[in-house]
Amino acid sequence: MKPRNREVNIFNMSVLDLLTGALGAFCFLTLALFPSYYKSHRSGAKSGAQKQAAEPQPRVKGLAGPVPPFAYLSLGAFNNDRPDACATLEVTGSSSESGGTLSFFPGAEIASGAYARFFLFAFAPGAYHLSVRVRPIRTPCDVNLDLENPNNQWTRTASVRGAGQPVDFDFNILSTDLNSDLWKNG
């Protein structure tokens, strides 16, 4: 008597035929729908570019290289006695007489939606005004605005006295404060 073949074979010809047919259908649909996807993706990019073209963007004159010249400032609420934050800050407004832009973004969160540090970038020389709302965590507390460029460094300090206190900083950015390779020089 001949022994039976007890080998289990799950990939027989019918399963392989089914898998290759599914792969072929997927490839066909992908190739057939790819031009349609490409057109919709390109038209979405064009509409975004058209929106940007419709809104006037502030331009910085005399840009050279990939990084425009800027002055780097730091706004923080810290006390010299303790290294942690003593107040939360909210930048409520900024303006410039010369028409320069003052861009800012927050540092690390100290609570949900609360920041004790902001980083600011001025892209043109001139007089600037910065308004900040301060909510103290503990007192005494000082809010410092620091210019941290290699060519020139200064600090403006305002003491925090009450909750929700508005603090205003008026400062000048000189043409020597603008630097495009700050981290290479400093």
Phi, psi (5° rounding) for residue 181?
-125, 55
Residues 128, 116 contacting (CB under 8 angstroms)? no
CA dihedral 48, 49, 55, 56 (to 10 degrees): 150
Q: Could you report the per-residue pLDDT of 141-177, keeping only the tens digit for each? A: 888 888 877 777 888 888 887 777 788 888 888 887 7
Looking at residue 22, its pLDDT comes to 93
Whole-number mean pLDDT of the chain? 76
The whole-number pLDDT of residue 181 equals 60
Three-state helix/strand/coil letters over the chain: CCCCCCCCCCCCHHHHHHHHHHHHHHHHHHHHHHHHHHHHHHHHHHHHHHHHHHCCCCCCCCCCCCCCCEEEEEEEEECCCCCCECEEEEEEEEEECCCCCEEEEECCEEECCEECEEEEEECCCEEEEEEEEEEECCCCCEEEEEEECCCCEEEEEEECCCCCEEEEEEEEECHHHCECCHHHHC
The whole-number pLDDT of residue 178 equals: 79
- For residues 128 and 103, is the Cβ–Cβ distance under 8 A? no
The predicted pLDDT at position 60 comes to 44
Residue pointed to by tokens 């066909």: 28
* Residue ranges covered by each domain of the chain: 13-52, 71-185
The reported pLDDT for the residue numbered 21 is: 92
Condensed to tens digits (0 to 9), the pLDDT of residues 55-84 reads: 554 444 444 455 667 888 888 887 767 777
Q: Provide φ and ψ at 30, rounded to 5°.
A: -60, -45
- At residue 185, the pLDDT reads 45
Region 85-109: what's the mean pLDDT? 82
Q: What is the pLDDT of residues 10-59, one digit of tens each?
A: 767 787 888 899 999 988 888 887 776 656 555 555 555 555 555 554 44
121 - beta bridge partners?
72, 103
